[in-house]
Homo-oligomer: A and B are copies of this chain.
Amino acid sequence: MNFTINRSRFIQELQIVQRAISTKTTIPILTGVKIVLTEEGLHLTGSNADISIETFLSTEDEKAQLMIESTGMIVIQARFFGEIVRRLPEDTVTLEVMENHQVLITSGAAQFTVNGLDADNYPHLPVVEEQNQLKIPVHMLTKLIGETVFSVSQHESRPILTGVHFTLSQNKLLAVATDSHRLSQRVIPVENAANDFDIVIPGKSLSELSRSLSDDEEEVEISIMENQVLFKTANMYFYSRLLEGNYPDTNRLIPTSFNTEIAFSVPTFLAAIERASLLSHEGRNNIVRLAIGSDSVVLYGNSPEIGKVEETLVYEKVSGDPLEISFNPDYMKDALRAFGDMSITIRFISPIRPFTLEPTEGGQSFIQLITPVRTN
């Protein structure tokens, strides 16, 4: 293998696949980036146990200025390689594989010789079947991930809850995440739907995918395989393993009748929650208390050592029974941030039953549910 390439274009591609590469892996070859050069162009691959990212740079990419002397493949320790390429002096870099998997990296007067690894020992990525594919716009996918992924469990005690549950049926894609204290659910309509599916994708994979997707204009093509899912854009293949096991039935968790309703502007309510949580974070129980009366709504927070806070809240509308309820302000903050700048309606049954948050206008396509904390 021997080729010359525009350095900044090459760095762009390296950065994408490096997202999948961890220095903590137990499989040494996965600390490397796999470089495969064919007559068509340059394939880069990075992988860890959970996700794999592959990019392709065509010989027809004008910015890449790819000049092929001879094709071939190699694996190079990713962390160093990235650092080296970033610090080279000239606009282009030449890579040449020598004997014993040594790689000569040349740019101007600087010449590195680094030890590579045999690319034949790099694990193979799953083969994609060209069926069962779903296309959705990138901006819709990243929004859906942002609205749900924070609710996945951070604990491995119930591994299935560390993922987001995706089900496709009747031309609707439903995404649900819950850590058993709170739940986030979003439904989006899809056109030209593929076969129905029911899968659980690790939350960490989705967060990384979201960070890797840059071009909001684009479409992403989703393919489901035996135990993998592939997200394919114009310049990236993003693979994630799927979680095995049955996701619990979450539909029955969402209540349908309520006794108290209150509407808030999200930014106003969020700012008050953030103030109240400053002190609650220091207490043994991280809770704040919301008291909804017929003529005033007050939020309380306190920490025995530091002090206390109370704030009379500005709300848009209130109806139903008076209520005092305590909850973890961090769950509330996460939920509110997922809505952004809009009006939401919070609906309660009682101080001990989960309550829901939904956009005040626009129906039930997005719902957040939080379980309160019993204080007596």
Among residues of B, the one whose C-beta sits closest to the C-beta of A274 is B87
Task: Contact check, A84 vs B275: say whether CB atoms are below 8 A apart.
Answer: yes
Task: Contact check, B309 vs A112: say whether CB atoms are below 8 A apart.
Answer: yes
Task: Contact check, B307 vs A114: say whether CB atoms are below 8 A apart.
Answer: yes
In angstroms, how far is the closest chain B Cβ from the Cβ of A80? 6
**Which of A109, A111, A112, A313 has its CB near the most chain B CB atoms (within 10 A)?**
A112
> Could you say which residues of chain B place their CB within 8 Å of the CB of A111?
309-311
Question: CB of A68 within 8 A of chain B?
Answer: no
Question: CB of A60 within 8 A of chain B?
Answer: no
Question: CB of A233 within 8 A of chain B?
Answer: no
Task: Contact check, A313 vs B109: say whether CB atoms are below 8 A apart.
Answer: yes
Question: CB of A205 within 8 A of chain B?
Answer: no
- Cα-based distance from A213 to B275 in the complex (angstroms): 31
Question: CB of A308 within 8 A of chain B?
Answer: yes
- Cα-based distance from A282 to B84 in the complex (angstroms): 13
Question: Given A109-B312, A109-B313, A313-B109, A307 and B115 touching (CB < 8 A)?
Answer: yes
**Which of A88, A275, A314 has its CB near the most chain B CB atoms (within 10 A)?**
A275
Question: CB of A291 within 8 A of chain B?
Answer: no
What string of 1s and 0s marks CB contacts (under 8 Å) between A84-96 and chain B?
A: 1001110000000
Residues of A302-360 contacting chain B, CB below 8 A:
305-314
- Cα-based distance from A272 to B313 in the complex (angstroms): 60
The 8 residue pairs across chains A and B that have the minimum distance between CB atoms: A114-B307, A110-B311, A109-B312, A112-B309, A87-B275, A113-B307, A113-B308, A83-B278
